[in-house]
Chain A
């Protein structure tokens, strides 16, 4: 695809590489559109100072929205497993694959994301360390939200009260973890100046060749080649 630069005649060619399937992009937005209302309606019950919104008819509506959104939220992994089970397994496997480069990534993340020091970052596969950790927390989180939320919904008064109490507190802890994580995710995906292509990829499913090379070298070049390049880069930098 060629892009004409504003106010000039010059054009640049961008080669786009597919990263996500249409189903994945669609489900990602369903996930977003259900997670945000879940977190906000949950927050109303959670935060004492939002008491006025939790009262009476407003509170009934807030709780109803939480339930409707929960159906979509829980539906996402199920639909994904039905429509693209092999992609799902592939992604889950990638989420769970770690190497010594992940420690380097964690060390380099602050200088990179905050101070803009590119050279610190080791090569990464299709999902970088942070993305994989986020994904794992969210997969576990979804299970835990379901395992605590559904009993709170349908088994109140049926299950023993200590179990209900435990479910509330675990649901809340999961809320704190995932909502804080979501803020970071949102910042990196939408706000952070260097990551502008992540939104492109979630809209169109593609990333540019240059972005793939810079951010996901192990995916772009293959693991072996990416590692060789990294070692060479380190030698040249005098490490």
Chain B
């Protein structure tokens, strides 16, 4: 099997400095603060920005969680999961989104035609459509590509490289899983986080992000058992081939009917 790389994300170590957000923007040439265009306002949370957008491929989500025994302020790095079964790549009609090397779902912006199917089929609602013109439909998709230009050249993603807390790591997926499982044991047994768990090992065939969580996934807005969209399967595996077969059969049938009819029809009788 070809090597699969993954990102290790230990939410228990994250201190929400958001250096990863900044490093991501810097490396991938995304906009940060642009006076008059991209400004942020205090709405009563440190979370910033409040959601992913075409210029923000990763961000730290702030969650206030009270499990009845104590209060936790949780920080979770959000971004593309790089699923093994990636609906976005399956529905992409252009090949802009692809199953790339090391299990990375790569994105080639020049190939994207802006249809936005990826944004509508991702079970995690990750791809962000940059709508340039709603009327003409001109748009571009965007999402975290695990710094495909770095990682395919043996470097770590920019966010991992910059993380000062040691919350992030990058490497062989099995190693990242082993590291996460070991960390969860420590959190459970030594640090008083009985609900600590690993997320990403099995979901959607295995994710490219391996999370260490200290609370159940739902608390972070992560579906415990995300589902590959059934309509994507129906569409790609059944409707597309059947549709083309119907067209082919219709054309063949009509060509055959034409030759038979030409032999049988006597034009002098035709009104």
Contacts and interface: CB of A to CB of B under 8 A. Distances in A.
Interface in A173-192: 173, 175-176, 179-180, 183-184, 187, 191-192
B271 A210 contact: yes
Interface size class of B (residues with CB under 8 A): 35 or more
Interface in B117-143: 117, 119-121, 125, 129, 131, 134-138
Nearest to A160: B120
A157 B129 contact: yes
Given A56-B110, A59-B115, A192-B258, A46 B240 contact: yes
A191 B113 contact: no
A118 B269 contact: yes
A15 to B, nearest CB: 13
Contacts of A58: 113
Contacts of A193: 261-262, 265, 267, 270
B246 A60 contact: no
A169 B229 CA distance: 12
B271 A114 contact: no
Contacts of A64: 136-138
Nearest to A172: B239
B70 interface: no
Pick the most buried of A51, A59, A67, A197: most chain B CB atoms within 10 A of its CB: A59
A113 B261 contact: yes
A113 B134 CA distance: 47
A217 B129 CA distance: 57
Interface of B: 93-96, 110-117, 119-121, 125, 129, 131, 134-138, 229, 231-232, 234-235, 239-240, 242-244, 246-247, 250-251, 254, 257-258, 260-262, 264-267, 269-271
17 contacts: A44-B93, A47-B240, A56-B113, A58-B113, A60-B114, A62-B113, A64-B138, A67-B137, A113-B261, A116-B261, A153-B137, A176-B239, A179-B247, A184-B250, A187-B257, A194-B270, A197-B271
